A = this chain, B = another copy of it.
């Protein structure tokens, strides 16, 4: 069988713990995997003063995919690791699709009253390489009463179009075939207009997809009052960041939310990571839920064309959730990984 060259970046906090379980589940599929582990994150930065050396980035490029745990630690100034490692990987490897399923698994508790699993089943297609994440901006007269700080959102037809096209292709493959653009085009008129025009243009090629528009502020209301309104959402980098955390919360918590940072062209490896952060407060205690990482592994398998394996992993998670109902807190990170891996091995 084909061998998968996997770059593993366990990262900070609970990252290493959940990544170990993700790898365990991957192993249970019986695939041949060549792993390279990259010990990047807070400790590496403290030791070397570097976040992601160019040579390491080049090595990572030579893999089929990346599995990342979490990045960020209170001992490091906010933004250093996030921008220097996570965002740097997304930008350098051109992960222009940040794919985030928002799905309520049967048996999972949601904070929303009266919502059933079939009411929450969406895919958020977040643009990954533009917008306010471009890092453009600056500061003038810092620390004085005349200080001005700017941040610039950069949006290109190139970047928006490829994202919108990906979202339409995804929507066309789903039973409901519905696509919603989430933006704030009544205020962010230049960027919003580019997004709206692009959706209108690409829609002409996908006449069987229902298209609508929702302001981001209203979208957050619908996430809690009427989540079934959404099927596929396409949105910019920042709005996608915000609504997918909200999506994770309504779908039973960040412990289950998976994501794929995709370069669909295949020119560079895609990266898979749980949506949750490094959670330093519970790190090293075996308390973290590895399910989000395991579901990210399923996205990884799908991306590599191993759809059967992806479905096996998802099914194992779904069965595990049903069975563990109510008894969750009693199980350690490792036990949870063992349980899911056992099901996968079947």
Chain A residues within 8 Å of B, Cβ to Cβ = 72, 78-79, 82-83, 87, 110-113, 132-133, 135, 137-139, 141, 143-158, 161, 184-194, 196-197, 216-218, 220-221, 223-225, 238, 241-246, 248-250, 253-254
Contacts and interface: CB of A to CB of B under 8 A. Distances in A.
A76 to B, nearest CB: 10
B190 A217 contact: no
Given A72-B186, A150-B190, A194-B149, A220 B220 contact: yes
Given A190-B137, A217-B242, A224-B112, A185 B148 contact: no
B152 A152 contact: yes
Nearest to A145: B157
B149 A152 contact: no
Interface pairs A-B: 10 shortest CB-CB: A147-B157, A217-B245, A220-B246, A221-B249, A149-B190, A113-B113, A149-B194, A151-B153, A82-B186, A79-B186
Contacts of A187: 79, 82-83, 87, 132-133, 238, 241
Nearest to A141: B157
A189 B217 CA distance: 23
Contact of A156 (B147, B185, B249): B147
Contacts of A145: 157-158, 161
Contacts of A133: 187
A139 B110 CA distance: 42
A111 B147 contact: no
Contacts of A249: 220-221, 223-225
Given A137-B189, A137-B191, A220-B245, 20 more contacts: A72-B186, A78-B192, A78-B196, A79-B185, A79-B186, A79-B192, A82-B186, A111-B112, A145-B157, A146-B158, A147-B194, A149-B156, A149-B191, A152-B152, A187-B241, A216-B242, A221-B245, A221-B249, A224-B224, A246-B246
A214 B244 CA distance: 16
A168 B174 CA distance: 49
A262 B112 CA distance: 34
A309 B110 CA distance: 40
Nearest to A144: B157
A151 B186 contact: no
10 contacts: A72-B186, A78-B196, A82-B187, A146-B158, A147-B157, A187-B241, A220-B242, A220-B243, A224-B224, A242-B242
A199 to B, nearest CB: 13
A259 to B, nearest CB: 12
Contacts of A190: 137-139, 149-151
